Amino acid sequence: MSSAWDITFSVQPPRAVFVNFPLNHQTGKAGDPSLQRRILLDALRAFETFWAPGQLLCLPYVWDPGDRSWEEKDFGPDFELYGVGEAMQEGYAERPLHRSQS
């Protein structure tokens, strides 16, 4: 399971499920066990149905239908690493992909 489309696409795992949620929240929001269960069950069902290497399924869940601003902040220019203070590689950051805009 992944919430970083560009990294997952670059790595090309044998099979993957993508959830357009903030990094490290692939299984849903804290304190929402119903959503977490639905996401996990959908991911497991997807892995049962993949028939070819390299398949990547995007699950249709939305973090917050009224606010997609997290996509601009998630590893964006103002991102602050917790406990480290600076990036290990200069200039490394995940860029906004504007996936929510059609």
> What's this model's pTM, rounded to 2 decimal places?
0.66
Question: What does the pLDDT read at residue 12?
Answer: 87
Higher pLDDT, 2 or 68: 2
Report the alpha-carbon distance of residue 29 to residue 22 in Å, rounded.
10
Residue 56 lies in a domain: yes
pLDDT tens by residue, 48-89 = 988 888 888 889 888 888 877 777 666 555 555 444 444 455
Identify the sign of the CA torsion 67, 71, 74, 79: negative
Residue 70 lies in a domain: no
Is a pLDDT exceeding 50 seen at residue 102? no
Identify the sign of the CA torsion 31, 33, 38, 42: positive
Q: Structural domain tally of the chain?
A: 1
* Mean pLDDT of the region 33-42: 93
Asked which of 18-27, 48-57, 90-99 is least confident by mean pLDDT, the reply is 90-99
Q: How confident is the model at residue 41 (pLDDT cuts 50, 70, 90)?
A: very high
Helical spans, DSSP H, in 1-102: 5-11, 33-49, 70-73
Q: Structural domain of residue 23, as residue ranges?
A: 5-62
Residue 13 lies in a domain: yes
